[in-house]
Structure 1
């Protein structure tokens, strides 16, 4: 057993990324030492700090990792989980670097984590921990609009981001750009509309674009388009829920949804909104009236389907179950859901894998829009919305004159409406995901690379190299 493997034979999360990086490096002509610099994490900040919880003082373990400084600020979420460890945070920071490069978001990758279980800690104590963590980051210059900009991740959300912003502002009073020190904030505190569903919507846009490529669809025996495609989604958190909702609205058939406690299945399709309401009311997706239960979550991954979307944990598809996966397409909505061994097995089977470093980049893309909004101090749409409505009104007059036909009230509203912030954000996200997809596919074809993952890494590494060369760092 390799030193990089654990007792089950699976590689560590960070080593999985390194293996994918090394595959891509074979297609890049550059000195090995420079590739090693790109692969390595630049800064790892591990901290322990005391917080009084109840009558006791607890020592909290936390991390902030900055993987790359090829562009600044660094960018990445903060997760609260008892599973947080250095290997995980380093891996997620590396993934952020590659994601940002692929979708042309000018950030270096970073990630943070606090080793706590937010489900067992009161809101008051979570606030204490969040504020103390923020102050520790400020002490070491690990947070700031031009330095390192956190965002929500597993176990965190708008609430925690607002505490981070407030703490930063209190310790850096007078900083005119303080709003840009963190993204994923409530809209009332400088957040951007559309951020919450951004990762799930990005997953939808990426898979939709793949389903429009005739060559790829025919290679796996599927028709072009999303309508009628049978989809299984593992994980009904923020990413999985929104991805499922957008797929359902587009005419795809969600035949199974899987959570920790098990899965539910209906070959004719599940109504995502009804399932989510059932989950909210009962604390579990199991026993949903319009579906049958599947006791083991992993069994749901092995059901017959067109598209499988793992949207929860890493390494859920591994060498022991890869041969039983029947999906023709796998979209990695989660970070690292497929191990390197499983990757090779699925590749030989002809399964199309849309990699995480591209597919779940929707969140950081919209975080970028929020960061720009905070730095410009102008809400999206404020300057052009009324102008566009006036132009559309003139356009409507021309249509009436030329067509000489009545226009319904609904049609008038649609034509006259100027772009709202959420319209602009979603338009920008859609364009970003479509462009990223085609850049990966074009590179895959030109270099005759066998799969999208390796092509995505090659694209990412080349963009990072270009950034370093522009800075004059590489000889």
Structure 2
């Protein structure tokens, strides 16, 4: 369904203050936001409202390390928007986490939820730490203190965290328990991505990768291509990358390259993905020295001749310097922000269909929504039902975005932002601004 234009005064608007580098994640998001706002003819006031986070929280996290030292970490939570419902977004642990990155990711969550018609706003959180250098008990202390600092922010009807980079279901269990102990009741719906025994959902771990494949198959169908006759390269072999690769493999696609932090692995005759997954699990979740392919660099993987490229690693992997060398027919963004804004025009000129992150990797938040619903009603679904509903919602979202792209003759990325921003702006207009 195409968006309906909001009845605002069309104007030329500029964000106040100095223009940031278009290579930063936040500015890449803002470049796309500006385009969609122009298509929708948002006035400057609405533009400012939708581009400004509702809350930005920075907290100190002092903990006692295993050796008795006191160390202070820094934690973040950004709530970008809560117009459609309680805010939703992951928590990541990494040494390079910063407020700018968290702001961008929170914004993406707002549009991602709107694209798949999930009644959540967008949020994101993070703690600046290196989890590889921390013991399990130190991670637990950090998580519980971070959660305690966020007790006024988190809540099943306010802000619902989930796993992200370097966090997992155990960390979500600690978040849930800390919140529940302070609330003096067990509150499973305060967090998603939990262990199943604590109210987690079947199919949650595979949801993001499954969503990537659902929209990739939809894109192939639009191009008249059959999945059993295409070649695929997947950058990143974590949860999203490995699931995407395996599901495409099950569809009959030839997976010619995969990669992780140890490098890229290429085999023109196709890689046995179940074997690669087994090998990785037996080698500390690394593909190092994988015998089923030859070693190439991650950059070389991106530039391989293939039908489908799934970047499922980190942000800004395809940028102005290498966009002209991309040879795929479809890029399906498993990661958040793998393509910078200044690479979009190059890819468009090359005729590459880019299925954007706010659509392609929205399977995770969709099944997080399913988990929240199941927790609220105290009744849990089978994995088959979860997958069936996920596939339906992702396919409907693709069709909606594709319809907008055809109506306005714009790219899928532009159409996804137009669709999402129109939904949030229209909702805000109907609700009004409380004063």
SS at match of 1:194: coil
- In the alignment, what sits opposite 1:30? 42
**Alignment counterpart, residue 58 of structure 2, candidates 46, 51, 74:** 46
SS at match of 2:228: coil
Contact 1:70 1:467 survives alignment (8 Å) = yes
Distance (Å, rounded) in 2 between the aligned partners of 1:353 and 1:445: 14
- In the alignment, what sits opposite 2:28? 16
Q: Which runs of 5+ in 1 are unaligned?
A: 218-222, 381-420
Distance (Å, rounded) in 2 between the aligned partners of 1:224 and 1:279: 31
- In the alignment, what sits opposite 1:463? 423
Distance (Å, rounded) in 1 between the aligned partners of 2:260 and 2:272: 16
Is 1:224 matched with 2:240?
Answer: no
CA displacement at 1:3 relative to structure 2 = 5.2
CA displacement at 1:206 relative to structure 2 = 0.6
SS at match of 2:59: strand
CA displacement at 1:474 relative to structure 2 = 9.0
Partner deviation per Cα, 1:362-387 (whole Å, 9 max, x = no partner): 0000000000011111122xxxxxxx
Contact 1:264 1:286 survives alignment (8 Å) = no
Contact 2:219 2:330 survives alignment (8 Å) = no
Is 1:190 matched with 2:203?
Answer: no
- In the alignment, what sits opposite 1:241? 242
- In the alignment, what sits opposite 1:136? 149
Distance (Å, rounded) in 1 between the aligned partners of 2:388 and 2:277: 27
Q: Which runs of 5+ in 2 are unaligned?
A: 1-17
- In the alignment, what sits opposite 1:181? 190
SS at match of 1:300: helix
- In the alignment, what sits opposite 2:124? 111
- In the alignment, what sits opposite 1:348? 349
Is 1:148 matched with 2:150?
Answer: no
- Structure 1 consecutive aligned stretches of length 4 or more whose deviation exceeds 4 Å: none
Kindly name which structure, 1 or 2, has the bigger radius of gyration based on alpha carbons: 1
Distance (Å, rounded) in 2 between the aligned partners of 1:179 and 1:286: 38
- In the alignment, what sits opposite 2:73? 60
Distance (Å, rounded) in 2 between the aligned partners of 1:32 and 1:181: 35
SS at match of 1:67: strand
- In the alignment, what sits opposite 1:84? 97
**Alignment counterpart, residue 406 of structure 2, candidates 421, 445, 451:** 445
Contact 2:62 2:70 survives alignment (8 Å) = yes
- In the alignment, what sits opposite 1:454? 414
TM-score by length of 1: 0.86
Aligned residues between the structures? 416
- In the alignment, what sits opposite 1:433? 394
CA displacement at 1:473 relative to structure 2 = 2.7
CA displacement at 1:342 relative to structure 2 = 1.2
- In the alignment, what sits opposite 2:83? 70
**Alignment counterpart, residue 168 of structure 1, candidates 174, 179, 182:** 179
SS at match of 2:227: coil
SS at match of 1:423: helix
Is 1:208 matched with 2:217?
Answer: yes
SS at match of 1:193: coil
Is 1:268 matched with 2:269?
Answer: yes
Partner deviation per Cα, 1:278-326 (whole Å, 9 max, x = no partner): 22333432332221111x2111111111111000100001111111111
Contact 1:50 1:58 survives alignment (8 Å) = yes
Trace 1:273-422 onto structure 2 (pairs within 5 A).
273-283=274-284, 284-294=286-296, 296-380=297-381, 421-422=382-383
**Alignment counterpart, residue 95 of structure 1, candidates 93, 96, 108:** 108
Distance (Å, rounded) in 2 between the aligned partners of 1:311 and 1:103: 20
